Amino acid sequence: DAKTTQPPSMDCAEGRAANLPCNHSTISGNEYVYWYRQIHSQGPQYIIHGLKNNETNEMASLIITEDRKSSTLILPHATLRDTAVYYCIVRSDSGGGADGLTFGKGTHLIIQP
């Protein structure tokens, strides 16, 4: 079973920041938080990941709470092309490379014009 809980759907106005929450209350000390998104009929796209510090890249920002039990993915200026299913995934850093990902149902983010 997925170790994360996400709202099934969210709306956001175009041009505004989209804030997608994720609960991972059972996360272990060596588990990272990963975010992927999947636009309809395409393969999942990597967005960002982090362990305990906040992270930012050209696509998004990831805010992880101090107790690491939840996180928020922020898309700073959402566009219509950001409409997708967003998956929050926790995965251990086993040191042996990338283990299989366990996807939940994700959040369907709909950007409204």
**Exposed, middle or buried by CB within 10 Å (0-12, 13-18, 19+), for 109?**
buried
Nearest approach, Cβ of 69 to other proteins (angstroms)?
21
CA 36 to chain centre: 6
Specify whether the CB–CB gap between 74 and 60 falls below 8 A.
yes
**Per-residue binding letters, 27-56, with other proteins (x by CB under 8 A):** -----x---x----xxxxxx--x-------
Q: How many residues lie near other proteins (CB under 8 A)?
A: 23
Residue 7 within binding range of other proteins, rule CB under 8 A: no
Of residues 35 and 82, the one with the C-beta less far from other proteins: 35
Count Cβ atoms below 10 Å from residue 64 Cβ, excluding itself. 21
Residues at the interface with other proteins (CB under 8 A): 2, 32, 36, 41-46, 49, 87, 93, 96-106
